[in-house]
Chains A and B, each alone.
Chain A
Protein backbone atom coordinates (compact mmCIF):
# COMPACT_ATOMS: atom_id res chain seq x y z
CA UNK A 1 0.00 0.00 0.00
CA UNK A 2 1.05 3.60 -0.65
CA UNK A 3 1.32 5.91 2.33
CA UNK A 4 2.08 9.59 2.78
CA UNK A 5 4.88 10.42 5.22
CA UNK A 6 6.03 13.64 6.83
CA UNK A 7 9.70 13.34 5.95
CA UNK A 8 9.92 10.86 3.07
CA UNK A 9 7.06 11.87 0.77
CA UNK A 10 4.90 9.09 -0.60
CA UNK A 11 6.26 5.57 -0.12
CA UNK A 12 5.21 1.99 -0.60
CA UNK A 13 4.87 -0.23 2.48
CA UNK A 14 3.66 -3.76 3.10
CA UNK A 15 0.77 -4.61 5.42
CA UNK A 16 3.27 -6.76 7.33
CA UNK A 17 5.33 -3.67 8.23
CA UNK A 18 2.51 -2.00 10.15
CA UNK A 19 2.68 -2.02 13.94
CA UNK A 20 -0.38 -1.59 16.12
CA UNK A 21 -0.31 0.28 19.40
CA UNK A 22 -2.65 -1.11 22.04
CA UNK A 23 -2.68 2.27 23.74
CA UNK A 24 -1.55 5.24 21.70
CA UNK A 25 1.72 7.00 22.42
CA UNK A 26 1.09 9.18 25.49
CA UNK A 27 -0.41 12.50 24.40
CA UNK A 28 -1.34 11.03 21.00
CA UNK A 29 -3.88 8.47 22.13
CA UNK A 30 -5.98 8.57 18.96
CA UNK A 31 -3.27 7.28 16.67
CA UNK A 32 -2.65 3.54 16.83
CA UNK A 33 -1.15 2.49 13.49
CA UNK A 34 2.48 3.25 12.73
CA UNK A 35 5.31 2.17 10.53
CA UNK A 36 9.04 2.26 11.28
CA UNK A 37 11.18 3.81 8.57
CA UNK A 38 14.97 3.89 8.19
CA UNK A 39 17.32 5.67 5.81
CA UNK A 40 19.58 2.64 5.69
CA UNK A 41 19.31 -0.79 7.36
CA UNK A 42 22.35 -0.35 9.63
CA UNK A 43 21.07 2.94 11.09
CA UNK A 44 20.38 3.13 14.83
CA UNK A 45 18.15 6.12 14.14
CA UNK A 46 14.70 5.58 12.65
CA UNK A 47 11.31 7.20 12.24
CA UNK A 48 8.01 6.18 13.70
CA UNK A 49 5.51 7.46 11.15
CA UNK A 50 1.81 7.49 11.95
CA UNK A 51 -0.46 6.00 9.31
CA UNK A 52 -3.49 7.80 10.70
CA UNK A 53 -1.91 11.24 10.56
CA UNK A 54 0.83 11.88 8.01
CA UNK A 55 2.09 14.93 9.94
CA UNK A 56 2.85 12.83 13.00
CA UNK A 57 6.29 11.30 13.15
CA UNK A 58 8.82 10.61 15.91
CA UNK A 59 12.53 9.95 15.84
CA UNK A 60 13.37 6.61 17.44
CA UNK A 61 16.80 5.41 18.49
CA UNK A 62 18.02 1.95 19.38
CA UNK A 63 18.66 2.40 23.13
CA UNK A 64 21.57 -0.07 23.06
CA UNK A 65 23.47 2.31 20.79
CA UNK A 66 23.46 4.86 23.62
CA UNK A 67 23.10 2.88 26.82
CA UNK A 68 24.67 -0.54 26.50
CA UNK A 69 23.31 -1.97 29.78
CA UNK A 70 19.69 -1.13 29.03
CA UNK A 71 17.58 -3.78 30.70
CA UNK A 72 13.89 -2.81 30.72
CA UNK A 73 11.58 -4.25 33.37
CA UNK A 74 7.90 -4.09 32.45
CA UNK A 75 4.89 -4.31 34.70
CA UNK A 76 2.76 -7.47 34.55
CA UNK A 77 -0.05 -5.43 32.97
CA UNK A 78 2.18 -4.18 30.16
CA UNK A 79 3.52 -7.68 29.44
CA UNK A 80 -0.02 -8.95 29.32
CA UNK A 81 -1.09 -6.17 26.96
CA UNK A 82 1.79 -7.00 24.62
CA UNK A 83 0.97 -10.71 24.92
CA UNK A 84 4.46 -11.39 26.15
CA UNK A 85 5.43 -13.79 28.91
CA UNK A 86 8.74 -12.43 30.12
CA UNK A 87 9.59 -9.48 27.90
CA UNK A 88 12.65 -11.22 26.45
CA UNK A 89 11.33 -11.38 22.91
CA UNK A 90 10.30 -7.74 22.91
CA UNK A 91 12.16 -5.09 20.94
CA UNK A 92 12.75 -1.70 22.49
CA UNK A 93 13.18 1.67 20.84
CA UNK A 94 13.34 5.05 22.56
CA UNK A 95 11.83 8.35 21.46
CA UNK A 96 14.28 11.20 20.89
CA UNK A 97 14.04 14.97 20.99
CA UNK A 98 16.52 16.25 18.43
CA UNK A 99 17.71 19.80 19.06
CA UNK A 100 19.96 21.96 16.89
CA UNK A 101 22.61 21.64 19.59
CA UNK A 102 23.43 17.94 19.88
CA UNK A 103 24.21 18.40 23.59
CA UNK A 104 20.55 19.24 24.17
CA UNK A 105 19.28 16.21 22.27
CA UNK A 106 17.77 13.64 24.60
CA UNK A 107 16.08 10.25 24.63
CA UNK A 108 13.44 8.97 27.02
CA UNK A 109 14.89 5.82 28.61
CA UNK A 110 12.09 5.64 31.16
CA UNK A 111 9.27 5.17 28.62
CA UNK A 112 10.45 3.17 25.60
CA UNK A 113 8.32 1.80 22.79
CA UNK A 114 8.10 -1.95 23.38
CA UNK A 115 7.26 -4.03 20.31
CA UNK A 116 6.30 -7.67 20.17
CA UNK A 117 7.63 -8.72 16.75
CA UNK A 118 5.51 -11.88 16.70
CA UNK A 119 2.19 -10.05 16.53
CA UNK A 120 3.46 -6.51 15.77
CA UNK A 121 1.77 -5.15 18.85
CA UNK A 122 3.41 -2.14 20.47
CA UNK A 123 3.02 0.07 23.49
CA UNK A 124 4.83 2.96 25.06
CA UNK A 125 5.58 1.49 28.47
CA UNK A 126 6.65 3.24 31.65
CA UNK A 127 9.39 1.02 33.04
CA UNK A 128 9.80 -0.17 36.59
CA UNK A 129 13.50 0.70 36.27
CA UNK A 130 14.73 4.03 37.57
CA UNK A 131 15.93 5.23 34.19
CA UNK A 132 16.01 8.95 33.35
CA UNK A 133 13.22 10.41 31.28
CA UNK A 134 15.69 12.76 29.63
CA UNK A 135 19.00 11.14 28.86
CA UNK A 136 21.55 13.04 26.79
CA UNK A 137 22.48 11.34 23.55
CA UNK A 138 26.01 12.61 23.95
CA UNK A 139 27.47 13.58 27.29
CA UNK A 140 28.49 17.22 27.68
CA UNK A 141 32.23 16.52 27.52
CA UNK A 142 32.15 14.49 24.30
CA UNK A 143 29.62 16.68 22.54
CA UNK A 144 32.13 18.57 20.40
Chain B
Protein backbone atom coordinates (compact mmCIF):
# COMPACT_ATOMS: atom_id res chain seq x y z
CA UNK B 1 0.00 0.00 0.00
CA UNK B 2 1.20 3.46 -0.87
CA UNK B 3 1.19 6.03 1.93
CA UNK B 4 1.61 9.74 1.14
CA UNK B 5 1.63 12.80 3.43
CA UNK B 6 -0.43 15.74 2.19
CA UNK B 7 -1.38 19.17 3.52
CA UNK B 8 -4.67 21.01 3.14
CA UNK B 9 -5.37 22.03 -0.48
CA UNK B 10 -2.78 19.60 -1.80
CA UNK B 11 -3.97 16.71 -3.91
CA UNK B 12 -3.04 13.39 -5.45
CA UNK B 13 -3.84 12.03 -8.86
CA UNK B 14 -4.92 8.47 -9.55
CA UNK B 15 -4.37 7.75 -13.20
CA UNK B 16 -4.93 10.74 -15.44
CA UNK B 17 -8.41 11.80 -14.50
CA UNK B 18 -9.06 11.11 -10.83
CA UNK B 19 -8.01 13.82 -8.40
CA UNK B 20 -8.34 13.63 -4.65
CA UNK B 21 -7.96 16.97 -2.89
CA UNK B 22 -7.49 17.39 0.85
CA UNK B 23 -9.94 20.15 1.56
CA UNK B 24 -10.08 20.42 5.37
CA UNK B 25 -8.48 18.73 8.36
CA UNK B 26 -9.85 18.87 11.89
CA UNK B 27 -8.92 16.88 14.98
CA UNK B 28 -10.23 13.49 13.90
CA UNK B 29 -11.74 14.15 10.50
CA UNK B 30 -10.52 14.93 7.06
CA UNK B 31 -12.69 16.44 4.37
CA UNK B 32 -11.71 15.35 0.89
CA UNK B 33 -12.92 16.45 -2.50
CA UNK B 34 -12.90 13.94 -5.31
CA UNK B 35 -12.95 14.81 -8.94
CA UNK B 36 -13.50 11.81 -11.20
CA UNK B 37 -15.27 10.83 -14.44
CA UNK B 38 -19.02 10.14 -14.19
CA UNK B 39 -18.64 6.39 -14.68
CA UNK B 40 -16.36 5.94 -11.65
CA UNK B 41 -18.40 4.76 -8.70
CA UNK B 42 -17.42 6.44 -5.44
CA UNK B 43 -18.80 4.86 -2.28
CA UNK B 44 -18.01 5.14 1.40
CA UNK B 45 -16.53 1.78 2.35
CA UNK B 46 -18.92 1.13 5.25
CA UNK B 47 -21.83 1.68 2.87
CA UNK B 48 -20.52 -0.87 0.38
CA UNK B 49 -19.88 -3.31 3.24
CA UNK B 50 -23.37 -2.74 4.61
CA UNK B 51 -24.79 -3.53 1.15
CA UNK B 52 -22.83 -6.77 1.10
CA UNK B 53 -23.94 -7.58 4.65
CA UNK B 54 -27.58 -6.97 3.75
CA UNK B 55 -27.33 -9.31 0.75
CA UNK B 56 -26.17 -12.15 3.01
CA UNK B 57 -28.74 -11.24 5.65
CA UNK B 58 -31.59 -11.53 3.13
CA UNK B 59 -30.85 -15.19 2.44
CA UNK B 60 -33.35 -17.65 3.78
CA UNK B 61 -32.41 -18.81 7.25
CA UNK B 62 -32.38 -22.15 8.94
CA UNK B 63 -35.05 -22.24 11.64
CA UNK B 64 -32.93 -24.38 13.97
CA UNK B 65 -30.05 -21.88 13.83
CA UNK B 66 -32.47 -19.06 14.54
CA UNK B 67 -33.85 -20.91 17.56
CA UNK B 68 -30.26 -21.36 18.81
CA UNK B 69 -29.77 -17.60 18.66
CA UNK B 70 -33.07 -16.99 20.44
CA UNK B 71 -32.29 -19.32 23.32
CA UNK B 72 -28.77 -17.91 23.59
CA UNK B 73 -30.13 -14.37 23.92
CA UNK B 74 -32.67 -15.50 26.51
CA UNK B 75 -29.84 -17.15 28.46
CA UNK B 76 -27.81 -13.91 28.41
CA UNK B 77 -30.80 -11.99 29.80
CA UNK B 78 -31.12 -14.28 32.82
Contact = CB atoms under 8 A, between A and B. Distances in A.
Q: Do A and B come from one complex?
A: yes
Given A105-B69, A126-B47, A137-B72, A100 B62 contact: yes
A98 B50 contact: no
Given A45-B73, A65-B73, A137-B72, A98 B62 contact: yes
A120 B48 CA distance: 26
Contacts of A137: 69, 72-73
Given A58-B54, A61-B73, A111-B53, 7 more contacts: A44-B74, A45-B66, A58-B57, A97-B57, A102-B65, A102-B69, A108-B53
A28 B54 contact: yes
Interface size class of chain B, counting residues whose CB lies under 8 Å from the partner chain: 20 to 34
A95 B54 CA distance: 8
Interface of B: 44, 46-47, 49-58, 60-62, 65-66, 68-70, 72-74, 76-77
A100 B61 CA distance: 9
Interface of A: 6, 25-28, 43-45, 56-59, 61, 65-66, 95-100, 102, 105, 108, 110-111, 124, 126, 133-134, 137-138
Contacts of A58: 54, 57-58
A105 B57 contact: no
A111 B50 contact: yes
A44 B65 CA distance: 15
A126 B46 contact: yes
A48 to B, nearest CB: 9
A111 B46 contact: yes
A107 to B, nearest CB: 9
A116 B53 CA distance: 23
A98 B54 contact: no
Given A56-B58, A65-B77, A26 B69 contact: no
